A and B are shown apart, each in its own frame.
Chain A
Amino acid sequence: EADIYQTPRYLVIGTGKKITLECSQTMGHDKMYWYQQDPGMELHLIHYSYGVNSTEKGDLSSESTVSRIRTEHFPLTLESARPSHTSQYLCASSVLGYEQYFGPGTRLTVT
């Protein structure tokens, strides 16, 4: 069973604040991903990493940034939150890039 954790689960924050969404996995997977999903819509890949010190932007343009200093940790940061950033953010990890294991997600609301 996959062990991948995201904190916080829910976050309501004001415009202009800096936020970091945490994602950790205990499976030793090299590949990690961040997706953004709005209600009733598909998941969009916004960032991915294939290993330590490797990060790439995904298919959907995002103002967020990521880092991968440790294998198990893949945090996502928004320097200045805006209402347009309101969404659900899902983190995933994988061994080979096929079956990806998802965390529970963070639902972000920017007021």
Chain B
Amino acid sequence: DQQVKQNSPSLSVQEGRISILNCDYTNSMFDYFLWYKKYPAEGPTFLISISSIKDKNEDGRFTVFLNKSAKHLSLHIVPSQPGDSAVYFCAAIPQGAQKLVFGQGTRLTINP
């Protein structure tokens, strides 16, 4: 059973507009969430994270929102830039554990 789900395999956004990537989870024991970005032939790079005691975390153009009651988090990128084109993975850490559980990823394409 997949505990972290990214239901959109791909997303296409125009340059300068907002990109919104979504992630749902089923395990209520997750207490820390992360977003990673991955270019082809490279390893994932850490983008931004959020603890379950918060509902929002912002870092420059990137903002992560957490809705615990809906077991849903989202990553907002604004404004979107061509260099943002990549695969974005949502990941979660169960309470007391130090292991990441990943979603399947969403391929974001920013169009000029």
A55 to chain B, nearest CB (A): 14
- Interface size, B (range): 20 to 34
Of B13-21, B63-71, B75-83, B101-109, the one with at least 4 CB within 8 A of chain A = B101-109
Alpha-carbon gap, A31 to B46, bound state (A): 16
Q: Pick the residue among A40, A50, A59 that contacts B105 (CB under 8 A).
A: A40
Per DSSP, chain B at the interface is loop
A12 on interface, CB distance cutoff 8 Å? no
Interface residue from A48, A50, A105 paired with B43 (Cβ < 8 Å): A105
Interface residues of A in 64-102 (CB under 8 A from B): 90-92, 94, 96-102
Per-position 1/0 for A33-65, Cβ under 8 A of B: 101000011111100101000000011000000
Contact residues in A for B43 (Cβ distance below 8 Å):
4, 6, 90-92, 102-105
Please indicate the chain B residues that have their CB under 8 angstroms from the CB of A98 in the complex.
32, 34, 49, 93, 98
User: By CB atoms of chain A within 10 A, which of B2, B93, B105 has the most?
Assistant: B105
Do A97 and B98 have beta carbons less than 8 Å apart? yes
What residues of B have a CB within 8 angstroms of the CB of A40 in the complex?
Answer: 9, 104-105
In the assembled complex, the Cα of A102 lies from the Cα of B41 at a distance in Å of 12
Chain B residues lying within 8 Å of A103, measured Cβ to Cβ, are 43
Contact A100 B42 (CB under 8 A): no
Name the residue on A nearest B90 (C-beta).
A42
CA distance A4 to B36 in the complex (A): 16
Chain A positions within 8 Å of B93 at CB level: 97-98
B99 touches A58 (CB 8 A): yes
Among candidates A43, A91, A96, A101, residue contacting B102 with C-beta atoms closer than 8 Å: A43
Q: Mark B39-65, 1 if CB is under 8 A from A, else 0.
A: 001111110010000000000000000
Q: Which residues of B contact A (CB under 8 A)?
A: 2, 4, 9, 32, 34, 36, 41-46, 49, 89, 93, 97-105
Q: Name 8 A/B residue pairs within 8 A (Cβ), A-sorted.
A: A41-B104, A45-B99, A90-B44, A96-B98, A100-B46, A101-B46, A102-B45, A105-B41
Across the A-B interface, give the 6 residue pairs with the lowest CB-CB distance, nearest first.
A97-B98, A102-B43, A42-B102, A43-B102, A42-B104, A99-B46
